[in-house]
Structure 1
Amino acid sequence: MRRFFQFMLQTMIGASTAVLTGLISFFVFNAAFLMSGLYALIGGSAGYFVTKQLMHVRFLRKEGLTRKEYKYIKENLIEAKAKIKRLQRTFRGIRSWQQAKQYIEVLVTVRKIYANTKKEPRRFYQAEPFYYKHLDSLVTLMEKYAYLKSQPSRTREMNESLKETHQTITELDGHIKKDLHLMLQDDMNTLHFELDVANQSIGHIRKHESEASK
Structure 2
Amino acid sequence: MSEVVQTFIRHCLNIPIMITSWFVFFFSTQSGFFWSSALAIGVYIVSNFTIKKIQQKRIMKKHQMTLSEYFHIQQQLKEANKKIKALNSQYLKVRSISSFKQLFEMNRLAKRIISIVKSNPKKFYQAENFFYAHLDSAVELTSKYTLLVSQPVKNKDMKLALQDTRDTLESISTVMEEDLHSVLASDVELLKMELDFAKLSVKQSEKPLYLKGESEDERKVIEYK
* TM-score, scaled relative to structure 1: 0.81
Structure 1: which 5+ runs fail to align? none
Q: Is the 8 A contact 2:87 2:142 kept in 1?
A: yes
Tell me, in whole angstroms, the C-alpha distance in 2 between the residues paired with 1:193 and 1:107.
32
Q: Which amino acid aligns with 1:121?
A: P
Do the aligned partners of 1:25 and 1:39 also contact (CA within 8 Å) in 2?
Answer: no
Alpha-carbon separation, structure 2, partners of 1:165 and 1:18: 55
Structure 1 residue 15: Cα displacement: 4.8
Match of 2:185 in 1: 185
How far apart, CA to CA, are the structure 2 residues paired with 1:151 and 1:17?
58
1:132 aligns with 2:132: yes
Instruction: Report the counterpart of residue 50 of structure 1 in structure 2.
Output: 50
Deviations 1:34-89 (A, max 9, x none): 38958983666554433332222112211222221122112212221121112122
What residue identity is the alignment partner of 2:157? E
Structure 2 equivalent of residue 106 of structure 1: 106
Matches of 1:129 and 1:44, distance apart in 2: 40
**5 Å matches for 1:150-161?**
150-161=150-161
Matched position secondary structure for 1:33: coil
* Structure 2: runs of 5+ lacking an equivalent: 210-215
Higher helix proportion: 1
Partner of residue 30 from structure 2, selected from 30, 33, 43: 33
Letter in structure 2 aligned against 1:148: L
Map of 1:153-172 to 2, 5 A cutoff?
Answer: 153-172=153-172
Q: Among the aligned pairs, what percent are the same residue?
A: 30
Alpha-carbon spacing, 1:136–1:16, altered in 2? closer, same or farther (3 Å): closer
- Deviation sequence 1:9-43 (CA, Å, 0-9, x none): 4344445555666788899xxx4333895898366
Does the Cα contact within 8 Å between 1:94 and 1:100 map onto a contact in 2? yes
RMSD: 3.1
Deviates more, 1:154-163 or 1:195-204: 195-204
Distance 1:162 1:133 in 2: 21
Q: Between Structure 1 and Structure 2, whose CA radius of gyration is higher?
A: 2
Distance 1:157 1:5 in 2: 51
In structure 2, the CA distance between the partners of 1:33 and 1:4, relative to structure 1 (3 Å rule), is: farther
Structure 1 residue 148 corresponds to structure 2 residue 148: yes
The count of corresponding residues between Structure 1 and Structure 2 is: 210
Matches within 5 A, 1:41-120: 41=40, 46-120=46-120
